[in-house]
Amino acid sequence: MEVKNITIAYEAYTGIDELSAQDKQLCLEAVKAMETSYSPYSKFRVGAAVLLSNKQIVRGSNQENAAYPSGLCAERVALFAAGANFPNEEIVTIAVTASTQEFQLLRPVTSCGPCLQVMAEYEQKQDKPIEVLLYCIGGEVWKVKGVNSFLPMMFFEKRLGKG
């Protein structure tokens, strides 16, 4: 038997002002997206902004439903909108932020497993990593180069879909 370890690397910034102008703008676009959140049940608002290779920015926010499985996270709303409206453009970066009146967020919020799996699928489709910015409003920003850092053993089967 052999024990193996998996480690991830990410950049941690103390605030949004340490970012490049482009990354800062994308984080602010995620904040704007969060304003359209429909989250009456969780009261946890999430916004995402996707930067495409054509410089277009696509926003998404979490959309809840009383039948809980019917809702959708901000990341998937933004990614699916980008895929549907700009199918031939690569996804360069996604910025994600969140807020709630229920408690104080002290660090960036990470994406859930299904959202990471969708990001991973887009990375496989475009054969290029997606940069992920996780922004805690008024606090830290974490920058991750590629979804593989979150899901090093992600599910992807290349033989699926081949006829």
pLDDT band of residue 158 (cuts 50, 70, 90) is: low
Per-residue confidence (pLDDT) for residue 160, from 0 to 100: 66
163 within domain boundaries: no
Contact 130, 72 (CB under 8 A): no
Per-residue confidence (pLDDT) for residue 6, from 0 to 100: 84
Give all strands of the β-sheet with 11-13 in edge-to-edge order. Answer: 11-13, 141-145, 131-135, 91-100, 44-52, 57-61
Per-residue confidence (pLDDT) for residue 154, from 0 to 100: 67
Per-residue confidence (pLDDT) for residue 34, from 0 to 100: 97
111 within domain boundaries: yes
pLDDT band of residue 68 (cuts 50, 70, 90) is: confident
pLDDT band of residue 148 (cuts 50, 70, 90) is: confident
72 within domain boundaries: yes
Examine the pLDDT at 163 and tell me if it is beyond 60: no
Domain count, the chain: 1
6 within domain boundaries: no
Give the active site residue among 29, 75, 89, 123.
75
18 within domain boundaries: yes
CATH of residue 63: 3.40.140.10
pTM: 0.92
C-alpha–C-alpha distance, residues 10 and 30, integer Å: 20
Mean pLDDT of 64-87: 95
4 within domain boundaries: no
Mean pLDDT of 52-65: 98
45 within domain boundaries: yes
Averaged confidence pLDDT in the chain: 93
Mean pLDDT of 42-60: 97
Examine the pLDDT at 152 and tell me if it is beyond 80: no
- For residue 85, what are the domain limits? 11-149
Q: Is 121 a catalytic residue?
A: no
Residue 121: burial class (beta carbons within 10 Å; 0-12, 13-18, 19+): middle
2 within domain boundaries: no
